[in-house]
Structure 1
Amino acid sequence: MSIPLEPVAVPDRVRDLAGGAALVCVWHNDYGGLTFRATPDAGEPFFIKWGPLQDESNLRDEAERMRWARQWIRVPIVLEQGSDAEHEWLVTAALDGESAVAPQWETRPELAVRAVGEGLRALHDALPTEECPWEWSVATRIENAERRGIRVPDRFRDTPPIDRLVVSHADACCPNTLLDADGRWFAHVDLGLMGTADRWADLAVASMSTEWNYGPGWEDTLIEAYGLEPDRERLAYYRDLWNAT
């Protein structure tokens, strides 16, 4: 997953959804999914996510989760969601923030990493587990993986005791936190798998992603900004589970 460095062909469906707005591809992922910023001549900018249908998650579920989560946290407003036989799309209003891995924040890693950690803690503190209709538990993740034909080693069924049950982001990589102009956390995006889980499931992924985006040495900084000391056992388990599923 990364910001495209070369021009990207715009799918016909995206052009239709843009309605004549100028398009810039701002993200592409491993599944062939693309995200475009659309800027009309008049009116507010918006974003279009488009990609092939795939089994792990879908944009219909993401739209549902965003509508639920925005009762308590700042997430994009859903404008439209749909699909055809091969692809799906999601249109959302733009937020006044930038990804924590935008070029200006990549050069200021400590500021960005701390903002991501603080933002993740705010998400966990704000979203009510008792009202969340979805899970991102270990059992649910293993079931999802095996439905996609992935054989998950039996050792992952022996799970660490839950430290604190939260509504997890479920893809808490640094790019999915938006920062404001001062480098403070502002909003969250890409909530397609959101559900209840141990908070270390998110912390493992978020801290691990600091190396992908900013280089080595920032993992513990993120956890410190969240407000905890690193739990090496839980971090190792949930990172291995992420890679296995």
Structure 2
Amino acid sequence: MRFPENVFDLVGGEDAIWSDDHAGLSDETLRVTGPRGEFFIKRGPVAVAEHERLRWLKRWADVPDIVAFEDEVLVLAEAGWRSLERKSAPPEAGALMGGALRALHAIPVEECPFDERLDVKLARAADRVLAGLVDPADFDDDHAGLTPEEVHARLLAERPAGEDLVVTHGDFTPANVLASPSGEVILIDVGALGVADRYVDLAVALRELDGPAAADFLAAYGLAEVDEAKLAYYRLLDELF
């Protein structure tokens, strides 16, 4: 994979170590370690989408520093904070995630220029299914045996009557929330951020959390009762992304 010369030199050039072997980061991301520090690099439409959203979101939340953006290549600084993914999560992970999501969902919807409502998501999902970009082998156990086409048909048939719109992260997993020792958080992998139903985030978060962590998450978020039908719907939707 070739990169603009300025980007290549910025992260250490031939002296840097380039790796796609990393836990908790999306497949489109490279980790680069070199004499000038540690960076994460994305390229293509994913990088463009994330660059736009990072520039907008930094007004409202802590996000990674943008080191460079050139020719659809995005370079982000390593924050040095720990991920909240399950295998290394601190006891307060659920509460940290709930507080972070509550703050994100409190951003005024009218301020957000990115549309991720169901009309947009379902159309994008249809394109992914048609292009063969959905691997049913990755489906959760609840959806094992379904084809991508069957999942999309169910999503159309079972579409909720309305949407409770907030500014959503779009992939709100423990791996995409970093925490400092003092309890501050940074949101990463925000390329799917946009206005959508709050259950886009709640469904993914609660799929990843269980037991006390899930209870702490809901308490910090401020949700006393969960809409199980919406949880199931948006978990099904996530299978196509």
TM-score range, shorter chain: 0.7 to 0.9
The alpha-carbon deviation at position 71 of structure 1 amounts to 1.2
Question: Partner letter of residue 101 of structure 1?
Answer: E
Are 2:188 and 1:204 aligned?
A: no
Whole-angstrom distance in 2 between the partners of 1:39 and 1:102: 28
Partner of 1:236: 232
Which structure 1 segments of 5+ residues have no match? 1-10
Name the SS of the counterpart of 1:162 in structure 2: coil
Name the SS of the counterpart of 2:233 in structure 1: helix
Question: Partner letter of residue 33 of structure 2?
Answer: A
Partner of 1:4: none
Calculate the aligned-residue CA RMSD, in Å: 3.0
Name the SS of the counterpart of 1:33 in structure 2: coil
Partner of 1:159: 160
Choose between structure 1 and 2 for higher RCO, CA contacts under 8 A separated by at least 6 residues.
2
Partner of 2:65: 77
Whole-angstrom distance in 2 between the partners of 1:220 and 1:156: 31
Deviates more, 1:63-72 or 1:225-234: 225-234
Question: Partner letter of residue 160 of structure 2?
Answer: T
Which structure 2 segments of 5+ residues have no match? 131-147
Name the SS of the counterpart of 2:191 in structure 1: coil
Question: 1:166–1:197: 8 Å Cα contact kept in structure 2?
Answer: yes
Question: Partner letter of residue 64 of structure 2?
Answer: P
Are 2:39 and 1:47 aligned?
A: yes
The share of aligned pairs that are identical, in percent, is: 30
Judged with a 3 Å threshold, the aligned counterparts in structure 2 of structure 1 residues 232 and 220 are, in CA distance, closer, same or farther, namely farther
Query: In the TM superposition, what are the counterparts of 1:3-82 in structure 2 within 5 Å?
Result: 13=3, 16-20=9-13, 22-23=16-17, 25=19, 27=22, 32-40=27-35, 45-50=37-42, 53=44, 58-82=46-70
Partner of 1:97: 81
The alpha-carbon deviation at position 38 of structure 1 amounts to 3.3
The alpha-carbon deviation at position 77 of structure 1 amounts to 2.3
Question: Partner letter of residue 177 of structure 2?
Answer: T
Judged with a 3 Å threshold, the aligned counterparts in structure 2 of structure 1 residues 32 and 238 are, in CA distance, closer, same or farther, namely closer
TM-score with structure 1 length normalisation?
0.74
The alpha-carbon deviation at position 224 of structure 1 amounts to 2.5
Question: 1:207–1:218: 8 Å Cα contact kept in structure 2?
Answer: no
Are 2:122 and 1:129 aligned?
A: no
Deviations 1:93-145 (A, max 9, x none): 33352221286x33x3x3112211211111222x3310211111111111111
Deviations 1:125-171 (A, max 9, x none): 2x3310211111111111111122164115435224333x2110001
Whole-angstrom distance in 2 between the partners of 1:97 and 1:63: 20
The alpha-carbon deviation at position 82 of structure 1 amounts to 3.8
Match among 118, 141, 145 for residue 138 of structure 1: 118
The alpha-carbon deviation at position 23 of structure 1 amounts to 3.9
Whole-angstrom distance in 1 between the partners of 2:34 and 2:86: 19
Question: 1:166–1:198: 8 Å Cα contact kept in structure 2?
Answer: yes
